[in-house]
Structure formats: structure tokens, C-alpha cells
Structure 1
Amino acid sequence: MTISENKKIYFASDQHFGAPTAELSFPREQKFVAWLDQVKQDAEAIFLLGDLFDFWFEYKKVVPKGFVRVLGKLAEIRDSGIPIYFFVGNHDLWMSDYFQKELNIPVYHDNQEYTFGNKTFLIGHGDGKGPGDKGYKRMKKVFTNPLSKWIFRWLHPDIGVSLAQYLSVKNKLISGDADVKFLGEDNEWLVQYAKRKLETKHYNYLIFGHRHLPMIIKVGDNAEYVNLGDWIGYFTYGVFDGETFELKTFQ
């Protein structure tokens, strides 16, 4: 991707809209829409790295209620010609083709590689990557199993969506205590994952969400691991101007 003069590439992750309730989520949605309005002025492209929603499931004829302002703003920006790329997270991993068909936004279920200018990027949500987290990795296999999705689809949406939203908040999947503490490079499993990826191929930036804690860590020669933070407590986002990458906070 070529970055035009005075244009930038933007990255954001982990908005978890809908949690813990629609009413409490609404001010965060308004803030995110304001951010989209700001960055569309000079965006070459926008990357959303997962968990935009605290829960999302696409039935064949039904999508979850709500999020009209966010979806409308994404549609407006995409219709203006600005590319948007969406990576599913562990909370919206049951996303299918709604974004692609309705908004013309491609959806990715795993990491993707990009070259912007002369810099190489590895981009993804980050869930289930690296050592540890074995319980979630087993759970993800169950959630993504075609039989599991088929069974869930037969629940009435009023029951299925309500149950999923309850379990998401009840189990503190949105943000646990570990998400507000830096564990040290040796214990940050996405840092370890980034270092292992660099053993086989070089990237200038390895950018992920999921961890909820904004950080930039040098992981190799001219290589940095980036976690974008979240839109729950930090309201952070990434911006690449063709030469350097920064984490910023939306005020």
C-alpha cells in the first residue's frame, strides 16, 4: 500500500461496544464515532483489530440490535473511498460476511502481512497466540466448531444474544485484572509470540489488540511489538505516517 502525501494509516482495537450494558456503552460509542470523524480527514486506511463488539453473531437473516451510529459511520467512511480492514477478535469471532456484503469491509480471522511504504507489518487481534492461554485456545476450538455454531444458531436471538452478553460480562472477558498490569517482557505472551515470528521473517511492526494495555516494545533489530490498548479506559489508537508509528490517546 502506498501512503499518499499527508495521509496516515490508523489502527484501533477492543472497543467492546455493548458492555457492560448498552446504556453504559453508548458514551464510548459516541467517542469512537467522533474519533472516526477526525481520522477520516487524512486516513489512507483504517484497521480495526477486533472486539469492536462485546458480542456479535450473524444469523442468516439477523444481526445483533444496536451500534447504528458506529456501523453508519463505517459505511460513510468506506463509501467515501477510504479502505477499512476488520480483524475478528475473541468476542466477535462469529462474524461472517455481513461487513463484507453490507459495508464492503473485508473481514479477517487470522494475522495478515502488509507493506506500507518501505515498512513491513504483521497485523492481527492476538488472541490465542504465543505460549500459554491453553484454556482459551481449547474454548476457541469449541466456539469456532461448525457444530457449535449450528446449535447456537437454533437458539432464538433474544435468548442466544442475551445469554452470550451475560456470560461475557459475568466472566470478566472484557477486561480482567491482568489487563491493567504490565507483566514484564518474559511473561507477556504476545511479546514472546512476536519474537518467535521474527525468527523466521522480519517485520518492522507487529501490531495486535486483545491485551487491552497500550505498549510499544522493541523486540528485535528495527522491530517493535505494539499493543493498541482499548476504548474502555485508555481510548488509545495507533497512527503510521509512512515513516514512524505512534500510539496516541483520543481526547
Structure 2
Amino acid sequence: MKSISVPIGKKVYFASDNHLGAPTQEQSLPREKKFVAWLDEVKEDAAAIFLLGDLFDFWFEYKTVVPKGFTRTLGKLAEITDSGIPIFYFVGNHDLWMNGYFENELNIPVYHTPQQFKINSTTFFIGHGDGLGPGDKGYKRMKKLFTNRMAQWCFRWLHPDMGVKLAQYFSVNNKLLSGEEDIHFLGENKEWLVQYAKRKLKEKHCDYFVFGHRHLPLEITLSATSSYINLGDWISYYTYGVFDGTKLSLETYVH
């Protein structure tokens, strides 16, 4: 379990599901500028920042090429890590194919599976949330293809102009991939990430289970001492999590 100490007056921030580039670069630019403005504000008192995936609507790293765009965001992330504030990134279902660029260029560790963190004396179970729990069966089958090394090797042989354009088309139009088929609250008993968190809680206590992916800002009590938090998104809600050293809460960015 990784440990982070939050000094008095500092906070830890969590955000997820920006889907920059969707449905077009031009249409996502105002959202990107808003996110960068948020990063500018939180860096003033941030002890750490967690980004829980789908920052981009599509991201694929060729050996010497990454997708065009997102200069404002990437530059701001580099500025923050250069200042000494750690950023932790968890890949989502739209950016599964990270392979060293964030680590080498931005000094941001990238996680492909959920991780446990201890922040001060509070325990966190953190991940994007895709493919977890009893549901999401269609996506689980698709993810096996996405993470297949042979499939990725074949995709790399496409010229980036063709590969990225093709992937962006499916990313925007495939409801199974985008999650648009269930962006409404299903009820606690049908929320598969809630069910997943409850199952993990039986194995080991955790104060907070923090996920993205669902695009819904949710705060659900699992027990007297444990909660499930879904961060929402930066498309409709502009919500984020903030931990003040004692308590995690959801807030909305107004800019």
C-alpha cells in the first residue's frame, strides 16, 4: 500500500472522465480550458492529484508518436509535476494504451489496475472502474480484445493518421465503449461498482472506494466507516473529489 502524507493546509484532489477530443477537438476545447483552469487553482494547495482515467477520448502510443493536440493539458501537468506535486494516473477504457509517455515525459506514474493508498491515516481503493463488478459483460469481452498484445501489435501497423481517425470514430459512436447506455443511476443494488466495493470491503476494510467511468457524481455509504465515491465527469457535471486530510467530499467546479 502506497502512503501519502498531507500537511496541514494541503489537500488531495481527484478527477476523472474528461474525454478530451470528443466529439471533436474544437468542441472539447472549452472543456479543456476549464480543466486547465481548475488545475491552475488546485495546484496552490495540492499535496497530490489523482486522475482516474479517460482524460482523453482516445489515446494510443506508437513507438515514437502520440496523438496530436491536448497541448494545454499536457503542459500544465508537466508544470505541476515539475513543481514537486505528484500526479497519479489510472488508465480508463478510452486510454488503455498508455505505454511510457506519461512516465518518461511528465513524470507521472500510470496504473493499469486499481491500487490501494493510505493518505494520512485514511485508506483508499482507487481505480477507473471499467470491467469491475458483476456487470459490464459486453465491455469485459471488448476489453480482452483491446488488451490483447497481438491486436495492439496489428493496430500499430496502421499509419497514425488512419489508426487514430478510425479509433476516434468508434470511441465517439460506440455506446458500449462510451458507456452511454447506463449513464443514469441504476439504484444501489444494481450499481455494479457498488457491488464490487462491497465485496472488496468483506476482504479488507477501506475507508473510501473512489472510481470514475460511470460519469455520475455519487456518494454511497457502504458501512458506518466506508463509502463509495464516483467522481462524475468533466462533460456534464464538472465534479471532482477533494480530501482535506480527514474527509473526502465531492465538489463542483464553477468557472
Confirm or deny a common fold (TM above 0.5). Answer: yes
Mapped contact 1:15–1:51 kept (Cα < 8 A): yes
Mapped contact 1:128–1:136 kept (Cα < 8 A): yes
1:51 pairs, out of 51, 54, 66, with 54
**Alpha-carbon distance, 1:200 to partner:** 0.3
Amino acid at match of 1:174: S
Mapped contact 1:131–1:193 kept (Cα < 8 A): yes
2:91 aligned partner:
88
2:124 aligned partner:
121
Amino acid at match of 2:128: H
- Answer yes or no: is 1:176 the counterpart of 2:201: no
1:147 aligned partner:
150
- Answer yes or no: is 1:233 the counterpart of 2:236: yes
Give the distance between the partners of 2:61 and 2:54, measured in 1 at CA.
15
- Answer yes or no: is 1:188 the counterpart of 2:191: yes
Amino acid at match of 1:133: D
CA deviations on 1:12-45 (whole Å, 9 max, x unpaired) are 0000000000000000000000000000000000
Listed as ranges, the gaps of 5+ residues in structure 1 are: none
Mapped contact 1:16–1:174 kept (Cα < 8 A): no
2:227 aligned partner:
224
2:170 aligned partner:
167
User: After the TM superposition, which residues 8-47 of structure 1 pair with which residues of structure 2 at under 5 Å, given as runs?
Assistant: 8-47=11-50
**Alpha-carbon distance, 1:174 to partner:** 3.4
Listed as ranges, the gaps of 5+ residues in structure 2 are: none
2:210 pairs, out of 207, 211, 225, with 207
Give the distance between the partners of 2:237 and 2:126, measured in 1 at CA.
20
Q: TM-score, normalised by structure 1?
A: 0.98
Partner of 2:227, secondary structure, is strand
**Alpha-carbon distance, 1:60 to partner:** 0.1
**Alpha-carbon distance, 1:96 to partner:** 0.8
- Range with bigger deviation, 81-90 or 214-223: 214-223
Partner of 1:167, secondary structure, is helix
Give the distance between the partners of 1:162 and 1:214, measured in 2 at CA.
31
Q: CA RMSD in A?
A: 0.8
> How many residue pairs were aligned?
250
CA deviations on 1:163-214 (whole Å, 9 max, x unpaired) are 00001111134351521x2110110000000000001000000000000000
- Range with bigger deviation, 12-21 or 135-144: 135-144
**Runs (4+) off by over 6 Å:** none
Give the distance between the partners of 2:149 and 2:182, measured in 1 at CA.
31
Give the distance between the partners of 1:122 and 1:244, measured in 2 at CA.
15
Partner of 2:30, secondary structure, is helix
**Alpha-carbon distance, 1:221 to partner:** 2.8
Mapped contact 1:53–1:91 kept (Cα < 8 A): yes
Amino acid at match of 1:99: F
Give the distance between the partners of 1:108 and 1:62, measured in 2 at CA.
21
Give the distance between the partners of 1:239 and 1:133, measured in 2 at CA.
28
- Answer yes or no: is 1:74 the counterpart of 2:84: no
1:136 aligned partner:
139
Give the distance between the partners of 2:148 and 2:207, measured in 1 at CA.
34
